[in-house]
Structure formats: structure tokens, C-alpha cells
Amino acid sequence: MGEKNFVEAITNLKPAIISRVTNSINKTIGKSGELDHYEIVWRQLQNISAMEIVNIIKEKFPNANIIMPKSKSTYPDIKIEYGRKLFAIDIKSNESQKDPWFDMARLDTIIQERMLPYAEEWELIIKYDSETKKFLKAYFNLFREVVGIRKECNGVKYRPYDGKLRPKSWENFDNNVIYWSTKDSFLKGIKNSQIHRWKVLIQNTLIPALNKEEKKEFKELFSN
């Protein structure tokens, strides 16, 4: 199976992944339907979900080499080696009380550290209620389909001070809104946000700190 067919095959497993993850979480939390204490919800949901996804991939692709990092802070949660290519599945959980705001990647390193090493990436998102401690829903999408939009520059959504990409809203998830349906559009969105972020930083932070001579020197950088 080639790279394109493998990507399609994993994407087509979306219903099975969501169903089995949902059933496994519900079975694990039992009759009370409540998750453990807030501080360990993320770890609890991640472990349950990861094992179900790994089992599905092993069933469908017995020749795939699956790697799960020992450290919870290592990306990705599930690395797949298949046909001399690397693929990634990462798992995130977020409370329903506010729109998701988890780290996804960095504007300054996403090409080198994410898009070049991995032929494709997916995200499993777990939605839960932090007040009732109830598991609500699971979503499974391509990485780029999870990324939100920064409308003022028609670029990918990011946190201004460090340039970390941010996901779309819960409303977008539930309405299946996808801002970056192709890799080309995603790359364009990344570039738009990179330019926008640096322009804002230069205007608001750098220029006010420069004297006349320093501004002249800075301007000369763009003449070559």
C-alpha cells in the first residue's frame, strides 16, 4: 500500500476509532460516568484512547511499526512507520466550558519539525465537562483540519506572544468546519500568519525602540 492509500485508509478509520475510543472510555469510567480528579483527566483519557487506536492500527496494518513514547511530553503520542514513511497521531483533551486552546505546533518550526518528517498527521480530540466530570465526545481529524483560522490575515490561528498554533472552536468541530482542506492551503495559511506575526511584533515592539539611525539600518535589510 502506497503513502496516499495509507493516509486514506487511516482517515477512513475515523468512525471505528471514534466508536471504539468512546466505548472504551465509557466502559472504563463505569456506571458513575465520572472521570477521575481534574488533574489526571488528561493522562487517563490519553492512555485509554492511545491503546484503542494502537489496537485498531495493528489489526488493519500488521506490518506497521508502532512507537509510543515513554514521556507524555514527547510528540507524537503514536508514531507509525509504514512503507518507509513516518505518520503521527497525537491525542488532546479539553474541557467543554471553553473553546480548546491546546498547543499544536510552532509557527517558526512547524515546517522543519512537523511537515517535513511526517508524511501525514492526525489528531484525536477528547471533549469533557470539567464541572460534571463527564466524558462528552471524541473527534478524529487530520492535523491541519483541527487548526483554527486568524481572520485578520487569513492565516492559521496562533497565540501572539509565542506563535504556537491553536485549534478551531467547539462550534467548528461540531459543524465540521475545516479551514485548511489541502496541504497547499495550509502552507499558505502558515506563511500568512508568519508574516502577520512578525509585522505586528516589528510595528509594536521593535520600531518604537529604534532611533533614526537604527531604523535606517533595519530598512537596509530589505534592500538586498
Q: Which own/partner pairs from 110-114 qualify as long-range (CB within 8 Å, at least 24 positions apart)?
A: 110/165, 110/190, 111/190, 114/143
Domain containing residue 101: CATH number: 3.40.600
Asked if residue 100 has pLDDT above 80, the reply is yes
Model confidence over 103-129: pLDDT tens digits? 999 999 999 999 999 999 999 999 998
How many domains in the chain? 1
pLDDT in the model for residue 35 = 65
Question: Exposed (0-12), middle (13-18) or buried (19+): which is 108, by Cβ within 10 Å?
Answer: middle
Asked if residue 150 has pLDDT above 60, the reply is yes
> Percentage of residues in the chain with pLDDT exceeding 70?
94
Asked if residue 194 has pLDDT above 90, the reply is yes
pLDDT band of 144, cuts 50, 70, 90: very high
Domain holding 125, by residue range, is 3-220
Average pLDDT over residues 8-32: 89
User: What strands, in cross-sheet order, belong to the sheet with 78-82?
Assistant: 65-67, 78-82, 85-95, 120-129, 134-142
pLDDT in the model for residue 224 = 66
